[in-house]
Amino acid sequence: MPLLVTDHSWTQTESMVYISVPLKGATKADILSSDEYLKVHFPPFLLEVFLSELVDDEQSSAKIGNGVAVISLSKRTNKLWEHLAISTYDKETKKEIRVRALSKMEAKLAAEARTRAEKKHKEKKYALKTMMDIEKNERERIQKMKDDAREATTAELEAWQLKEKKKVEEDHAQLKVQSQTGNGNKVKAVEDNFDGGKSGRTKVKFDKRSVNEDQGKKKHLDLPAPRRLGNIEVSFTPRVFPTALRESRVAEEEEWLKKQAEARRVVNADVEELNDLREEERNPDWLKEKGNKCFAAGNYLSALNAYNLAIRLNRKIPALYSNRAACHLKLRNLHKAIEDSSKALELLTPAVAANAAARARAHVRRGSAFCQLELYTEGLQEYQAALKIDPNNEPLQADTQKIRDIIQGSAS
């Protein structure tokens, strides 16, 4: 049970209230503020203030430094307060104020989640539209290249046909002129070598040039007709993975996509507490986002509770185990961190490009837990596995070298 503290001070102006809370050695605090309630939680201490007047929580802020948390509250009305907090000791009244504050905070978080989802959806939609425009422009460019090539080929073919037609007409006209000269160019009959006049035979000599011209004319007339022109439809297969398709990885990629589809379905619907949860609290993705927000705020216990419930609802999402391992690292539950990292790596199979970053994070978290347990050899193996996945990560290279130095120093 938290220890309630009262050693805080406050000052005010007509528009602002400033509250200073000593953190008693703590470096982080969980601060919840609404228009009528303020909570500052720095384990194991807790400060609750039920404000005497309403404030604008949207314009309020908090800062932590030098062991003190300073909360700045913006007044709704510009006037000086007689008291900071209400003087009632009624537990029911305080409970109602506390419940209202929590409800407003949850509604605010849900609205922020919806805003992020809408923003992400718009960004995806914009990216898809941009990609479609790029593909459309590329198709138009390729089609223009095809049309230009087809027009050039057609022009060349027409020019060749016209040239051949003129050549045939010229040859035909020349043959006609030759035929009008008395067929003397085609056949010439000459008397030669009468064998003394005894045989009485006459030799006939053919003009080879005339025969070749007739054969050439026949060849020109037997030319085949030009081929017909047509268009070829080209379609591109959509691809989920960022890398190029490789036949050797098709089976692994299909298995990963199947696992991802199964992980999005609730597989543990028999949890008894489901009846007491709100609709969004039954969604593992919503719980994951809530856990991430709590983790970013330094509230590791709340983040751990969110991941625990999400895992009870769906045990097939590797990110839940990896994120819970990060919470265990912060809370010094090192063996549990190793167990959750191993479970995440077990679910992140097969190893494909889509889960490379997640596998690297899981290896680093398991390696960090090993190193904090002073099992540096096992930790080095995990960091080397992560470095193999992401070889260009400079911070990861530096951490790996530090572990090597520790091992070499202990060995010497």
Please check whether residues 39 and 133 belong to one and the same domain: no
Tell me what percent of the chain is helix, strand and coil, each rounded to the nearest 5. 55, 15, 30
Does 100 share its domain with 167? yes
Indicate the pTM of the whole model.
Answer: 0.40
- Asked whether residue 66 falls in the same domain as residue 102, the answer is no
- Which of these three, 42, 65, 87, is where a domain ends? 87
CATH code (residue 22)? 2.60.40.790
Same domain, 394 and 296: yes
Burial of 365 (0-12, 13-18, 19+ CB in 10 A): buried
Total count of domains within the chain: 3
**Segment (H or E) for 149:** helix 91-179
Assigned domain for 184 exists: no
Same structural domain, 10 and 128: no
Query: Highest mean pLDDT: which of 35-49, 75-89, 245-259, 303-317?
Result: 303-317
The last residue of one of the domains, among 153, 172, 191, is 172
| Claim to verify: residue 67 and residue 135 sit in the same structural domain | no
The mean per-residue pLDDT over the stretch 104-133 comes to: 87
What span, in angstroms and rounded, lies between the C-alpha atoms of 325 and 341?
Answer: 6
The domain boundary, picked from 172, 207, 237, lies at 172
Cα gap 111→155, rounded to integer Å:
65
Verify that 75 and 101 share a domain, yes or no. no
pLDDT in tens, 158-203: 999 998 888 888 888 887 776 666 544 444 443 444 444 444 444 4
Residue 401 lies in a domain: yes
Percent of the chain with pLDDT over 70: 77
Q: Are residues 305 and 379 in the same domain?
A: yes
Q: Say if 194 falls within a structural domain.
A: no
Q: Is residue 48 part of a domain?
A: yes
Answer whether residue 338 is part of any domain: yes
Sheet holding 68-75, edge to edge: 9-12, 16-22, 68-75, 55-65
Q: Are residues 285 and 402 in the same domain?
A: yes
Q: Which domain holds residue 21?
A: 3-87
Average pLDDT (61-70) is 85
Q: Are residues 9 and 103 in the same domain?
A: no
pLDDT of residue 324: 95
pLDDT over 60 (residue 244): no
Q: Quote the mean pLDDT of the chain.
A: 80
**Which DSSP category does 406 fall into?**
H
* Contact between 366 and 381 (Cβ < 8 Å): no
Q: Which CATH number belongs to the domain containing residue 329 in this structure?
A: 1.25.40.10
Residue whose C-alpha is closest to residue 171's, from 221, 226, 207, 224: 221
> What pLDDT shows up at residue 269?
45
pLDDT for res 391: 92
Q: What is the per-residue pLDDT across 354-376, written as a single tens digit (0 to 9) for each?
A: 889 999 999 999 999 999 998 99
Which pair of tokens denotes residue 294? 């709590």
Rounded CA gap, 146 and 149, in Å? 5
Is residue 263 scored above 90 in pLDDT? Answer: no
355: three-class secondary structure by DSSP? helix
Give me the amino acid identity at 308: N
Pick the most confident of 61-75, 141-155, 250-264.
141-155
| Token pair listed for 310 | 């999400």
